[in-house]
Amino acid sequence: MTSQSSTKLLDELNQVQLAIELIELGARLQVLESEVALNRGRLVRLYKEVAGKSPPKGMLPFSTDWFLTWMPNIHASFFYTIYDRFHNQQGLERMQAFIKAYRMYQEHLRGTGSEEVLALTRAWTLVRFFESDMFQLSTCTSCKLNFVNHAHTPDSDYVCGVCQPPSRAGKPLIKDCEKSVKEAQVSR
């Protein structure tokens, strides 16, 4: 076996492993097709084998507005801050950082008993929106944490949804968010 053919085999194995990890985390087929260098037929067969069912059909989320609503913004901001730390500050490769950040996000939710708001496909879409310069992180003038915001938005007086929640937000939910913000400030 030549060095070149063994490298090709290792590359293919790495792509299969990446696809398996993404499927286990809930990736849709469109995410796999964008991120994994395997043909569609192989991805469908792999999806069926790993998930035990055919991949769901339908379009991916495409609106930036969902990420700016109150609870999704908090979750998106939390996830993206983790991703950014792994990818840009620690230098992990993009998908490696993405998977690690998403697992950490899920682990945090399990640890706090919180509901998962940000599915893997939405998290992936969020990263793509940042890469397309559709989003920026804006620092809250009150808690000093970063939150997802439309790109090129003046943010010198930005106040996040935790510090200034909408009137419809329930008090127990606000208390949970405030607690998470305090924990995030301590871990900085």
**Domain extents for the chain?**
3-51, 65-187
Average pLDDT over the chain reads 89
Q: Considering only 35-49, 58-72, 132-146, which range has the smallest mean pLDDT?
A: 58-72
Q: List, for residues 75-122, the tens digit of each pLDDT value.
A: 999 999 999 999 999 999 999 999 999 999 999 999 999 999 999 999
Is residue 183's pLDDT more than 60? no
pLDDT of residue 185: 47
pLDDT of residue 187: 52
Is 143 among the annotated ligand-binding positions?
A: yes
Q: What is the mean pLDDT of residues 27-39?
A: 95
Is 177 among the annotated ligand-binding positions?
A: no
Is 140 among the annotated ligand-binding positions?
A: yes
Q: Print burial letters for 118-143: b (CB count within 10 Å at least 16), e (below 16).
A: bebbbbbbbbebbeeeebebbebeeb
